[in-house]
Amino acid sequence: MELNQLWSQFRADARSSYHLYSRNVELKRPPGVRPGRHFFSVARQFFWAVLEQLSPARRVILLIGLVLLVFAGGIAFGKDSEQVKVLIFDFRFLGGLLLLVVLLLEIGDRVVMKRDLQIAREIQLWLVPGTPPEVPGVEIAFATRPANTVAGDYYDVFPRSSPSANGTFLFAVADVAGKSIPAALLMASFQASLKALSATPNSLSQLVDGMNRYVCTNSQGGRRFITALLAEYAPGTRALTYINAGHNAPLLRRSSGAIERLETGGLPLGVQENASYEAATITLQPHDWLAIFTDGLVEAANAGDEEYGEQRVIYVLQSGAADTPTALISRMMVNLDLFVGNNLPLADDITCMLIKVKS
């Protein structure tokens, strides 16, 4: 790796670790507190935040190592003369050795956790389609980028297998509040429930009501809610019935260039058990585009803390309307990379699904 790449990676790792330890640190200086005193207060809070991430045994080893490294000196054995050599044992060396032991133990835990997370990532990839399915009348492409190894975003396209489905397809994009392992676990249960309920002879509104009741039983009092866009597509009539459950409004670009937002729906899933959801139906026309995405796309920020924003998504849709969905979503991800630059890691998972209506 080049030096600038190493420096960028180090900055990203340092920023990620800092955010981990500083979550419970009061960084804002209270009125009347001198800057010097506040600095030592923040340093003390940060030090204890680091200790809290260690096991009790490792805390003891770390404290002993720091004491020996900072305050201890050496002990001399023998006499300082021409005939007798003097052996000096420096306790600071022992302190550094103890710190190295703590570091090696933490690295061992990280390697084991990374291996387990990679297995979890592979399992998660089995739950979502690897390639876009064949849906009559439309072309589909999607892209996803997790903020961590595993993600809380979900996307899928599959035919409804209920007796009353009449050959319809279900489009789904969802975003679990939070990220990493807790969000990924809830995403997996959401996927399993959606597949099970979609096989029953229910309307889209009944399907969303059932999903909301299920998510409410696992939402930890509303803290683990899910925003989702669920839509049922009938290839014969090109009718798209959708419900937006607190999700970012998908962008529908008509062949004329006009932009519409799919906003009809209700609260995020898991917030209120008796919430009602309103469905809306639109008719797709040849050369229309539909972009369904999670908030991680529009809220991705660059080094200046400027968000990517919905307008940039619209610009990509307008400028690449003649492209295929695969080419356009690739262009969108490249455009996002250029915008974000080295401001990594991502603050949230990113998922986008593009649908183009054939002529």
Question: At residue 90, does pLDDT exceed 60?
Answer: yes
Structure-token match 């009718």, residue found: 239
> What is the Cβ-side half-sphere exposure of residue 126, based on CA atoms within 13 angstroms?
8
Token pair of 86 as six digits: 């003097």
- Please report whether residue 140 resides in a domain: yes
Spatial neighbors of 315 by CB under 8 A, at least 6 apart, are none
pLDDT average, residue stretch 296-300: 91
* 87/24 same-domain check: yes
On whether both 97 and 179 belong to a single domain, the answer is no
Nearest to 136 by CA among 322, 245, 284: 284
Nearest Cα to Cα of residue 227 among 168, 292, 294: 294
- Residue range 267-294: average pLDDT? 93
Same-domain status, 160 and 261: yes
Is residue 5 in a domain? no
Same domain, 208 and 345: yes
If you average pLDDT over residues 97-102, what whole number do you get?
A: 89
Point out the domain boundary residue: 121, 151, 173: 121
In a domain, 7, yes or no: no
Does 13 have pLDDT greater than 90? Answer: no
- Residue 289 confidence class, pLDDT cut points 50, 70, 90: very high
**Residues 99 and 188 placed together within one structural domain of the fold:** no
Residue that wins the pLDDT comparison between 141 and 176: 141
**Co-location of 157 and 66 in the same domain:** no
Q: How wide is the angle at C-alpha 170 spanned by C-alphas 329 and 248, nearest 5°?
A: 55
Quick: pLDDT tens for 18-75. 777 777 778 788 888 788 888 888 888 888 888 888 888 888 988 888 888 887 765 6
pLDDT value, residue 9: 73
Residues 153 and 174 sit within 8 Å (Cβ to Cβ): yes
Note whether 150 and 255 are same-domain residues: yes
Lowest mean pLDDT among 129-133, 161-165, 197-201: 161-165
Q: What value does the mean pLDDT take over residues 170-188?
A: 84
In a domain? residue 1: no
Residue 153 has, within 13 A of its CA and on its CB side, a CA count of 25
Q: Which region among 5-9, 55-59, 237-241 has the lowest average model confidence (pLDDT)? A: 5-9
Q: Please give the mean pLDDT across all residues of the chain.
A: 85
In this prediction, residues 225-233 reach a mean pLDDT of: 94
Which residues, including other chains, have CB under 8 Å from residue 251's CB and lie 6 or more apart? 259, 260, 261, 289, 290, 291, 310, 313, 314, 317
Q: Taking the CA atoms of the chain, what radius of gyration do you get in angstroms? A: 27
Q: What pLDDT shows up at residue 164? A: 65
Strand bridging mode 280-283 / 239-245: antiparallel
Per-residue pLDDT reduced to its tens digit, 112-154:
877 877 777 777 777 788 888 899 999 999 998 887 777 788 9
Q: Between 292 and 165, where is the model more confident? A: 292
pLDDT of residue 83: 56
Residue-number span of the structural domain to which 24 is assigned: 13-121
pLDDT above 70: percentage of residues in the chain: 91
Burial class (CB in 10 A: 0-12, 13-18, 19+), 269: buried
Asked if residue 342 has pLDDT above 70, the reply is: no
Sorting pLDDT into bands at 50, 70 and 90, what band is 248? very high
Of the candidates 102, 121, 140, which is a domain's last residue? Answer: 121
In total, how many domains does the chain have? 2
Domain assignment present for residue 68? The answer is yes
CA–CA gap between residue 292 and residue 262 (Å, rounded): 9
Burial class from Cβ neighbours inside 10 Å (0-12, 13-18, 19+) for residue 134 reads exposed
Answer yes or no: do 220 and 249 share one domain. Answer: yes
> How is residue 279 annotated by DSSP?
-
User: Is the predicted pLDDT of residue 264 greater than 70, yes or no?
Assistant: yes
- Specify the pLDDT at position 93: 83
Q: What is the DSSP string of 99-151?
A: HHHHHHHHHHHHHHHHHHHHHHHHHHHHHS-SS---BTTEEEEEEEE-SSSS-
More confident residue, 319 or 35: 319
Question: Does 62 share its domain with 161?
Answer: no
How confident is the model over 68-77, as pLDDT tens digits? 888 776 565 5
Tell me the whole-structure pTM to 2 decimals. Answer: 0.74
For residue 3, tell me if it sits in a domain.
Answer: no
Q: Are residues 191 and 143 in the same domain?
A: yes
Of 121, 156, 180, the last residue of a domain is 121
pLDDT of 210 > 70? The answer is yes
Residues 216 and 158 in one domain: yes
How far apart, in whole angstroms, are the C-alpha atoms of residue 311 and residue 307?
Answer: 10
How far is 326 from 79, CA to CA, in rounded Å?
A: 79
Q: Please report, for the domain that includes residue 181, its CATH number.
A: 3.60.40.10
Any domain includes 292: yes
Which of 7-16, 52-61, 95-104 has the lowest average pLDDT? 7-16
Is 73 part of any domain?
yes
Query: Is there a single domain that holds both residue 101 and residue 220?
Result: no
